[in-house]
Amino acid sequence: MTEEKLISQQAQIFEPNWKRWLNTLGPLLALLLVYGVIAVRAPSSFTTIRNLETIARQTTIVGMAALGMTLIIISGGIDLSVGSIVALSTAVIAWLLQKAGAGPLTAALGGVAAGALCGLMNGVLITALRVVPFIVTLGMMLVIRGTAIGIGNEQKIDVDIERLKWLDELMASLPKEQAWMLLPVGVWLLIIMAAAVAFLLRYTRLGRHIFAIGSNEETARLCGVSVWRVKVIVFMLGGAFAGLAGLMQFSRLTVGDPTVAKGLELDVIAAVVIGGGSLSGGEGSILGTIVGALIMTVIASGCTQMGVPIFWQQIITGVIIIVAVALDRLRHRRSA
């Protein structure tokens, strides 16, 4: 074994640099490839600036939730309650606006806080009960969904237009006079948050600790990392980002819908995994995740414009998930 490693170690000296570039930029190249293929086939409306904006807007909800999921997956966990948190967040925002008479900012923060609280519970249950994240968040998925439906009294919560103020503009296409903003506020928020999380992962102790726990929890413990604290923080951030995704969802629907975003967690996990995240932890990147989310939206958008039936979209997305991960494994086997 050791000789092999020494040898591969020496072989790597001659390994060209472009290979390492390829590893980091792999998902990005895949995105360009998918976009290019569709651009050739699809009607010209696909390549318009307007459609690019639409794609960006459509990516925002999954992308926002996927930021938190990236942290969770790098730390070696998983969160199945994301879709439910999004629904709860929309319900809480609508309830605050309509029933509690809160202002838009209070309501928005309330939605995010509700998400963070759910994440906190996930984290505390996982570390205190020592039950694996899969099971805890599977349970919480139902608990949170139930709570959301309870808040809405088993109905959608409608909000009067005049109470919304700016809340319905976050995700809307920009009107002419605001064209200088280039992208809607919600998309900017995603970009800023993505940059912030990428910074957190790369340049902070918390970020290094998240990678260490995902790579080897025992080592992290041995090195004096407070493993339970990091995990609770990570799940709380995951919940908060899901709450933020809920805000985006609400902005799009302008209604508190407790039944919305069913199965969203799978799209979110898929985005992270396509982007190079490893479900066994220790690997993943924000750039990859965002690209992963974009790939899925581009396919959806392209298929719609080409008139490809929905079922084909699902089949194609499924195939891409498997191929992406298989390619990743192949790369690992080479470099291991």
Partner 1 sequence: MAERVEPGTSDMRLRMAGVSKRFGATIALQDVTIEAAPGSVLALVGENGAGKSTLMKVLSGAIKPDAGKMWLDGQPYRPGNPLDARRAGVAMIYQELSLAPHLTVEENIMLGMEPSVLGIVRWNQVRRRAVEAIREFRNPELTPRARVSRLSVGSQQLVEIARALAIGCRVLVLDEPTSSLTRQDVERLFDIIDRLKEQGKAVVYISHFIEEVKRVADKITVLRDGRVAGNSDVASITTDQIIAQMVGRQVEDLYPRSKRYPGQVILDVEKLAGLEKPVSAGLKLRRGEVLGIAGLIGAGRTELLRCIFGLDPVRSGKIKLGLYTGPASPVKRWAQGAGILSEDRKEEGLALELSISDNMTLSRLEGFGPFGMVIPSRQDKAARRWIHKLGIRCRTPRQSVQSLSGGNQQRVALARLLQHGVDVLLLDEPTRGIDVAAKAVIYKLIDELACAHPPKAVLMVSSYLPELLGVCDRIAVMCRGRLGPTYDITEVDEHSLMTEATGQSSGLLTEETNK
Residues forming beta bridges with residue 255, ordered by sequence position? 158
Query: What's the min distance (Å) between Cβ of 136 and partner 1?
Result: 24
Ramachandran angles phi, psi of 157, nearest 5°: -105, 110
CA separation for the pair 152, 149 (Å, rounded): 5
Answer left, alpha or beta for residue 156, where phi above 0 means left and psi between -120 and 50 means alpha.
beta
Which of 19, 99, 165, 202 is in the footprint of partner 1 by CB under 8 A?
Answer: 202
Quote the least distance from Cβ 208 to partner 1, whole Å.
Answer: 6
Residues in Cβ contact with 146 at an 8 Å cutoff, skipping those fewer than 6 apart: none
Q: Is residue 6 at the binding interface for partner 1, with CB under 8 A as the rule?
A: yes
Residue pair 78/138 in contact (Cβ under 8 Å)? The answer is no
* Nearest approach, Cβ of residue 212 and partner 1 (Å): 5
Who's near 160: CB < 8 A, 6+ residues apart? 98
How far apart are the C-alpha atoms of 71 and 76, rounded to whole Å? 9
Binding segment for partner 1 (CB under 8 A), chosen from 156-164, 188-196, 198-206, 321-329, is 198-206
Question: Candidates 8-16, 105-113, 187-195, 303-311 — which segment interacts with partner 1 by CB under 8 A?
Answer: 8-16
Residue from 109, 169, 183, 208 binding partner 1 (CB under 8 A): 208
218 is an interface residue for partner 1 by CB under 8 A: yes
Q: How far apart are CA 290 and CA 60, in angstroms?
A: 9
Q: How far is the CB of 205 from partner 1 (least distance, A)?
A: 4
Nearest to 46 by CA among 257, 238, 297: 297
Q: Which range in 84-92, 111-119, 130-138, 197-205 contacts partner 1 by CB under 8 A?
A: 197-205
Least distance to partner 1, CB of residue 204, Å: 6
Q: Which of 43, 219, 315, 323 binds partner 1 (CB under 8 A)?
A: 219
**Residues paired with residue 256 on neighbouring β-strands, in sequence order:** 157
Judged by CB under 8 A, does residue 212 bind partner 1?
yes
- Of 114 and 213, nearer to partner 1 (C-beta) is 213
Cα-Cα-Cα-Cα dihedral of 65, 70, 76, 82, to 10°? 10
Q: Binding residue for partner 1 (CB under 8 A) from 173, 204, 310, 323?
A: 204
Under the binding rule (CB under 8 A), the answer on residue 50 touching partner 1 is no
Q: Is 227 left (phi over 0), alpha (psi -120 to 50) or beta?
A: alpha
- Reported residue count of the chain is 336
219 HSE (CA, 13 A, CB side):
10
Give the range of 54-62, 209-217, 239-247, 302-310 binding partner 1 by CB under 8 A: 209-217
Does 13 engage in binding with partner 1 (CB under 8 A)? yes
Using the contact rule CB under 8 A, the part of the chain among 95-103, 160-168, 180-188, 205-213 near partner 1 is 205-213
Min. distance of Cβ 216 from partner 1 in angstroms? 4
User: What are residue 285's phi and psi, to 5 degrees?
Assistant: -150, 155
CB closer to partner 1 out of 4 and 160: 4
Contact between 225 and partner 1 per CB under 8 A: yes
The amino acid present at 58, given as its one-letter code, is Q
For partner 1, the binding residues (CB under 8 A) are 1-14, 202-205, 207-209, 211-212, 215-216, 218-226, 282-283, 335-336
